Structure 1
């Protein structure tokens, strides 16, 4: 059964990738698309190779990173509502990106993702300091993250009010968009994902143990504080590099782990790779739909994932309330 689920998920990723390559302000038929991919001298080759193919690759890579980051967070915090955007990582990244856009508009292109990554790691440091070196309960850790995210969100709103003339670029980045992304962004993100994803999968025995609770984890010989620190750092790194490349895209790290958990259960050796594929599929379909709703304009993928994820988040809140009530 698991093989069927993985095969079907990979098949969907291929279909959604072809759809993303085909749709947009200029529609490309499947025969023309195949020919453009094989021969670079067709009328559609430039569009496919320079605009749409890098978007597809970035969608997949960032979907991988955000989804796996969400898997790690939910397992460590033991809270189904935990995700990179919920505990403030994307808010911190967004605030520092907004600072660069507003205060240093002429800075080189690499400064913006570097600032976003810095913001994500600053949130991580604040989480460590305010949660007393990770010794608080998982619920308290999640609440601290929500509070930090609210503070950075307030900072973003202040910058938007103070610098209204430069608001367009900031809103585009904060909403999460693949517009204008090219091969330079692909090659910036690819090495991180190729390194961090295998590292995340190799940690599946520890993540399986963490799900049993702190007392059982200690009984089994796991150094809780140290391992939680490194796993959280891994989660922050995955989310940080993804947000730095595509902007503040929310709900991927929340939805993808839940869907994967319902399909294959809580064993992380299966949960991590399936959640990564589902995260990529959500990014691909969100980007594709966003490009065909109001042609020739496009709706940022972050808005599309929010439309999908917000109702699911409400559903999870109600389910958790009923379970605890």
Structure 2
């Protein structure tokens, strides 16, 4: 036995509660499985059903060719996704890395959506090939964006986030216009494990074995990644090649699962993270423990889904296993989170910054662009007779309608940009954005509760629901974070868990066929159409207040970027400073969520753009980032009204497409340098 691959008995020692966790979950899943098989078979023999089934007995056929293959597929999918997440987190040194970060899930989903609408014959003859092609293309885009940056950890993660956002934004745009036609595909997007035989399970088992063999060949090189890129290179290991090989294995594992059963999120994030929290510190321990945990976690989840399906309340609706996985995994992750001790390596800059001397030359162009957006919003529009420039009378006539929408959009951009800059600075994580704190998702979850509870979807009810959800999420975030002096990595993991929970609930609702899901869809992608003037002007006042108060935190931000030990040595109260900054950022995020929904891509891209044009210091980055965020959202609001006239494309969707394109340009340009 090699020293880096512990035995299962080693995992069972008192210091490794992971073994007992896997055992407890496995026993619970086994009991439910036995009960389900017994209820289906009745007095028939399981041995006879397995090896000599009566093909005229429908119960025996269902057990042998449906229930048992489904269990096998569940175990294989959970293990594959957990192994993929373990590899991604190891080579990227980031506890937030998972198969979704690599772009496979949204790429495969988008490919199937396009084929469903415009090439249905492809699905009839090659659904697996379509899903694999979409996932592979998305991964190719990620590698292409990160290649010029030598496949660095941060470059891969940023590229994956861009591809995810792009594929997700395009999928949402298509869903808005073809909602009824894509309802069945939405259910597949939640992960469906139904089986009609053993063929798919055997294929996935062979693919998993091949990926495990490839992982074993890389295990010695992978262990060194925990020491950092410089150490890996000093030991003579080809960093980029090894990272690319490990990510390719993760891609293959994820693509095989997507092609077999659809999208099952959160397992790739939860299983490796919970394994580490439960005591599996070494890579060898995680390579064994995480797949085992992922397998039993998905197995137990699927058994609960099948048990719920027998209840009268749920019997009329299909419940996707991937959705319920998040509902179970999130509480388990939050329960074990206080044991987290790992520190990801995320301190490298996202893009190369130019000389700060160029800031003074480029800033006027941004101001001119901001003025130009205001002029476009009021003076240029598309009507029944085509494009035209409005005269004074037309501008005054439409001022009462366009001005509040413009104020709301630009204010949301400012709020999100400042929040994103604060979060990235205090966490020293250039990939952090407001949605990673989960506050925006919590606010959107409040909207879901209001609509699902049967309340009338009035502006006041939606406002109260969103505010309550945002405040509740912030309370949970600060309560748990206070136990670890608001350690950034702890807060980010909490936010990701909350966001995963929200996304799972929304996905399940969209697939249910509820007519209120259309209203929720408009809110999720950030439309300013329903914003009242009072709310818009309130958001404008908050944006101005944030522009004044944000720069006052520059000393704390600059000192915290040096690390908590140095900051404490310089007299900064680290815990209090983190609390104040994150509370301020969360309030700004909640305020923007109340206006345009859980739009957060602006909060990711604006700080990078500000740094690129020379705003390196916190005060300058806050102001320049806010200026760019307001410009981007204002232009997106105008463009969204024109591009699909007479229909309106939500400003949040347009901002994602435009901001992502600009961030891609920055990454490519930085890579060439």
Q: Shorter-chain-normalised TM-score: which range? A: 0.7 to 0.9
Matched ranges for 1:84-233 at <5 A: 84-106=434-456, 108-131=458-481, 133-135=483-485, 137-162=487-512, 164-233=514-583
8 Å contact 1:261–1:271 — kept in the other structure? yes
Partner of 1:235: 585
Q: 1:277 aligns with which of 627, 645, 656?
A: 627
- Deviations 1:31-67, CA, capped at 9 Å, x for gaps: 61xx2xxxxxx245322x1221111111221111010
Partner of 1:6: 363
Cα distance in 2 between the residues matched to 1:318 and 1:222: 37
Farther-moved stretch of structure 1 (271-280 vs 78-87): 78-87
Query: In the superposition, relative to structure 1, how do residues 43 and 284 fare at CA in structure 2: closer, same or farther (>3 Å)?
Result: closer
Cα distance in 2 between the residues matched to 1:291 and 1:178: 10
Query: In the superposition, relative to structure 1, how do residues 196 and 118 fare at CA in structure 2: closer, same or farther (>3 Å)?
Result: farther
Farther-moved stretch of structure 1 (265-274 vs 73-82): 265-274
Farther-moved stretch of structure 1 (277-286 vs 301-310): 301-310
1:21 matched to 2:378? The reply is yes
Query: In the superposition, relative to structure 1, how do residues 12 and 311 fare at CA in structure 2: closer, same or farther (>3 Å)?
Result: closer
Cα distance in 2 between the residues matched to 1:107 and 1:156: 16
8 Å contact 1:23–1:291 — kept in the other structure? no
Farther-moved stretch of structure 1 (176-185 vs 255-264): 176-185
Q: 2:610 aligns with which of 256, 260, 280?
A: 260
Cα distance in 1 between the residues matched to 2:668 and 2:390: 47
Query: In the superposition, relative to structure 1, how do residues 2 and 288 fare at CA in structure 2: closer, same or farther (>3 Å)?
Result: same
1:205: Cα distance to partner?
1.2
Cα distance in 2 between the residues matched to 1:260 and 1:122: 32
1:299 matched to 2:649? The reply is yes
Cα distance in 2 between the residues matched to 1:44 and 1:194: 25
What TM-score do you get using the length of structure 2 for normalisation? Answer: 0.43
Structure number with larger C-alpha Rg: 2
Cα distance in 2 between the residues matched to 1:111 and 1:128: 26
Query: In the superposition, relative to structure 1, how do residues 129 and 316 fare at CA in structure 2: closer, same or farther (>3 Å)?
Result: farther
8 Å contact 1:23–1:292 — kept in the other structure? no
Cα distance in 1 between the residues matched to 2:467 and 2:563: 31
1:174: Cα distance to partner?
1.0
8 Å contact 2:554–2:618 — kept in the other structure? yes
Partner of 2:140: none
1:134: Cα distance to partner?
4.2
8 Å contact 1:201–1:269 — kept in the other structure? yes
Cα distance in 2 between the residues matched to 1:243 and 1:136: 23
Query: In the superposition, relative to structure 1, how do residues 261 and 252 fare at CA in structure 2: closer, same or farther (>3 Å)?
Result: same
What SS does structure 1 have at the residue aligned with 2:434?
coil
- Deviations 1:165-212, CA, capped at 9 Å, x for gaps: 212211111111011334222233233223333111211111111111
Query: In the superposition, relative to structure 1, how do residues 312 and 135 fare at CA in structure 2: closer, same or farther (>3 Å)?
Result: farther
Partner of 2:56: none
1:24: Cα distance to partner?
4.1
8 Å contact 1:94–1:116 — kept in the other structure? yes
Cα distance in 2 between the residues matched to 1:43 and 1:132: 54
1:257: Cα distance to partner?
0.6
8 Å contact 2:450–2:461 — kept in the other structure? yes
Unaligned runs of 5+ in 1: 36-41, 320-325
Q: CA RMSD in A?
A: 2.6
Cα distance in 2 between the residues matched to 1:291 and 1:297: 7
Farther-moved stretch of structure 1 (185-194 vs 70-79): 185-194
1:46 matched to 2:46? The reply is no
Cα distance in 1 between the residues matched to 2:491 and 2:621: 23
1:254: Cα distance to partner?
0.2
Partner of 1:323: none
Cα distance in 2 between the residues matched to 1:207 and 1:140: 19
What SS does structure 2 have at the residue aligned with 1:187?
helix
1:220: Cα distance to partner?
0.6
- Deviations 1:251-285, CA, capped at 9 Å, x for gaps: 00000011001122431121111000000111022
Aligned residue pair count: 310
1:143: Cα distance to partner?
2.4
Cα distance in 1 between the residues matched to 2:664 and 2:359: 29
Unaligned runs of 5+ in 2: 1-357
Query: In the superposition, relative to structure 1, how do residues 134 and 200 fare at CA in structure 2: closer, same or farther (>3 Å)?
Result: farther
8 Å contact 2:444–2:524 — kept in the other structure? yes
